[in-house]
Each structure stands twice: as C-alpha cells, then as structure tokens.
C-alpha cells in the first residue's frame, strides 16, 4: 500500500518533469498539430522518393544496380536531354528575373498596385496547357504575331516560332513569370523604404540607389526566387510537347522519363531518370545558394523602431 502510493507519486513527478523538459524545448500539445502534415509528407513525398531511389537501382533487365544509370549516360538520345532542359530552364529563369526586378521596383510605388498585380498574375491561374494552346495559335504560321509583322513589312515569310525551341521558351516565361514576379515583389517591398530615402538625400540617383542599396539587400531574395523558378522551369513538360519538338530540340528530361515509364513500361529506368533530374536541379540550387552566401544576408531595415 505504502509502496505503491510512493511509486505512483514518483511516476507522477517523473511525468511532470518530462513534460516540463519538452515545454522548455517548445514542444507541447499544440506541437501535435504538425502530425497530419508530417504523415502526409512521409506518405506522398519521402516514401515515394526512397521507393523510386531503390527502384532505380533494381533494373528491369538486370545487369547490376547501376545498369540504368550506365544506360542513360551511354545513350546520347537520353543524356542530351539534360542539356536540352538546362538550355530552356536557365534562360527562362534569368529572363523572368530580369523582367521581374524592374517591374516590381516600379509596381511597389504604384497606387493601383493590386490591379496590375492581378493582371500580371493571371497567366498563373490559366495553367500551362491553356497558355501553350493559345500560343500555338498566336505564334503559329497563320497566327496574329507573324501576320502583323508581315503586315507592317518587317518580315516577308512567317516566322517559325512553334514546334521548336522559341515557342517553348515563350510559353515557359509566360507561365513562370507571375510566380517569379510575386516573389520578387514581396522581397522588394520588404526593404525598409527609409533606406532608399536616405540614399536619395545623400546624393544617390535612381541607378545608384538600385546598385548600392537595393540590389545588395535583394541578393538573398533573388537567389531564392532563382531557385524556385528554376525548379519549376526544369520540370517543363506540357509546353515542350505541345509547342516544341518533343523528339528534337526540346526533348527535355521529363519527356525521356515519361517515355520510359509509359511507352516502354520501364519504371525502373524512369525512376533513374527522375533521380538524375533531381541531382541536376539540386546541383544548380546548391550552386546558387553558395553564391548567395558570398553576399550580405542580414536584416533589410535601417535601424530600430
């Protein structure tokens, strides 16, 4: 009787101290709310990822764990897709950022900011397929774009802008730009406006204000926007098929993966291609973040208050 009461007492004290210890580390009942999200991420991301990773090392035709990777890197029709994808994704990312920064710099000062932002963001809501279909007509040999240029006498023959690299590039920029723009705008508006005023009163003209104050403070934001835009552009699929030359110029890596999976039913090879895709993306992202680390990364406000 006495003993068991004593034990209960101890147990209670022990429980309490664990709870207190957890609370000190910021873990309490509310922390349990992350469980659904954690289960979701494990279920639809982490598990499939490792399943695919293992699958890629168990080739359908046998021949050792690395057979799929050897096959990929010995066939130019396959390994050239990496370069083809980078040839699209890198210019798309750089051009989107190059448009976003000046437009966001201007939009931040506008009173009807919301209206313009809505117009710019509209392509995001349309989806890549609709944009690709639209461009197919607009940029096609009988489309308005070529017809107008012929009408004003700039060209004589219709420009070939579809079923090749340029159509995919245009459609990718249109679908990716709103995303890049919104990210950039939020970084630019996050910079303390007093800093630009201070720069102006101390003699910096608008270019100098951008070059010496805004740009250095924007580097971390630009790096993040670059990475996220690049990852989106790298996964290009619908526009490369619809607007491009899916067996030629714009045979991107996702097309190779889709063909392996759904035309040859070789899920093991498809997984290997997906893994190679992930490694290339990761390589670019790591490189960009490493470059960012060479620049200033601290606060973007000019003091207290």
Partner 1 sequence: MQLSSTPFKELRLERMSRAFGSFNALREISLTIRQGEFIALLGPSGCGKSTALNCIAGLLATTGGGIFIDDKRIDQLKPEDRGFGMVFQNYALFPHMSVRENIGFGLKMRGVAKAEIESRVDAALTLVRLQGQGNKPPGQLSGGQQQRVAIARAIVIEPPLVLMDEPLSNLDAKLRLEMRAEIRRIHAQLGATTIYVTHDQDEALSLADRVVVLRDGAIRQIGAPHELYDSPDHIDVAQFMGFRNCLRGVVTARNGLQASVAVGNATLTGMLRNDLNVGDAALVAARGDDVTSGDEHANTLPAVIESIEYRGREFVGSARTADDVELVFHTPKNVAVGSRVFLSVDPDRTIIFADKEV
- Helix and strand counts by DSSP (H, E) for the chain: 15, 0
Contacts of 66 (CB under 8 A, 6+ apart): 57
Binders of partner 1 among residues 212 to 231 (CB under 8 A) are: 212-213, 216-217
Residue 198 in the binding site for partner 1 (CB under 8 A)? yes
Residue 189 in the binding site for partner 1 (CB under 8 A)? no
Half-sphere exposure of 245 (CA within 13 A, CB side): 10
Rounded Cα distance between 250 and 151, Å, is 30
Which residue lies nearer to partner 1 by CB, 62 or 305? 305
Residue 293 in the binding site for partner 1 (CB under 8 A)? no
- Which sign does the torsion angle of CA 85, 91, 93, 96 carry? negative
Residue 105 in the binding site for partner 1 (CB under 8 A)? no
Rounded Cα distance between 170 and 196, Å, is 34
Binding region for partner 1 (CB under 8 A) out of 29-37, 88-96, 136-144, 207-215: 207-215
Which residue lies nearer to partner 1 by CB, 65 or 110? 110
Give the count of beta carbons closer than 10 Å to the beta carbon of residue 253.
Answer: 29
Among 29, 35, 201, 263, the residue binding partner 1 under the rule CB under 8 A is: 201
How many residues are listed for the chain in this entry? 305
Q: Which residue has the tokens 């619908």?
A: 238
Binding region for partner 1 (CB under 8 A) out of 157-165, 189-197, 231-239, 252-260: 189-197
Residue 112 in the binding site for partner 1 (CB under 8 A)? no
Size of the site for partner 1 (CB under 8 A): 26
Residue 91 in the binding site for partner 1 (CB under 8 A)? no
266: phi then psi, degrees, rounded to nearest 5 = -105, 80
Residue 102 in the binding site for partner 1 (CB under 8 A)? no
Among 15, 80, 205, 264, the residue binding partner 1 under the rule CB under 8 A is: 205
The H or E element containing residue 12 is helix 2-24
Binders of partner 1 among residues 140 to 159 (CB under 8 A) are: none
What are the residues binding partner 1 (CB under 8 A)? 192, 194-195, 197-205, 208, 212-213, 216-217, 296, 298-305
């Amino acid at each position: 009787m006495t003993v068991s009461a004593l034990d209960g007492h101890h147990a209670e004290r022990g429980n309490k101290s664990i709870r207190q210890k957890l609370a000190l580390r910021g873990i309490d009942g509310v922390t349990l709310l992350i469980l659904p999200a954690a289960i979701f991420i494990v279920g639809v991301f982490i598990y499939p990822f490792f399943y695919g990773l293992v699958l890629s090392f168990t080739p359908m035709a046998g021949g050792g764990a690395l057979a799929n990777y050897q096959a990929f890197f010995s066939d130019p029709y396959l390994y050239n897709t990496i370069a083809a994808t980078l040839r699209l994704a890198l210019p798309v990312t750089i051009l989107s950022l190059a448009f976003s920064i000046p437009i966001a710099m201007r939009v931040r000062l506008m009173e009807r900011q919301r209206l313009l932002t809505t117009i710019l963001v509209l392509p995001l809501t349309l989806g890549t397929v609709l944009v690709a279909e639209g461009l197919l007509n607009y940029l096609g040999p009988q489309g308005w774009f070529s017809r107008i240029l012929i009408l004003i006498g700039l060209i004589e023959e219709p420009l070939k802008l579809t079923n090749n690299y340029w159509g995919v590039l245009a459609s990718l920029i249109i679908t990716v730009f709103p995303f890049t723009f919104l990210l950039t705008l939020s970084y630019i508006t996050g910079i303390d406006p007093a800093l630009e005023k201070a720069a102006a009163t101390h003699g910096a003209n608008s270019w100098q204000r951008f070059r010496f104050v805004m740009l250095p403070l924007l580097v971390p934001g630009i790096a993040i926007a670059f990475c996220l835009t690049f990852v989106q552009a790298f996964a290009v699929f619908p526009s490369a098929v619809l607007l491009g030359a899916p067996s030629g110029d714009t045979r991107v890596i996702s097309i190779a993966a889709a063909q392996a999976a759904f035309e040859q039913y070789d899920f093991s090879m498809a997984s290997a291609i997906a893994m190679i895709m992930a490694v290339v993306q990761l390589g670019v992202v790591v490189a960009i973040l490493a470059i960012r680390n060479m620049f200033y990364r601290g606060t973007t406000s000019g003091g207290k208050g």
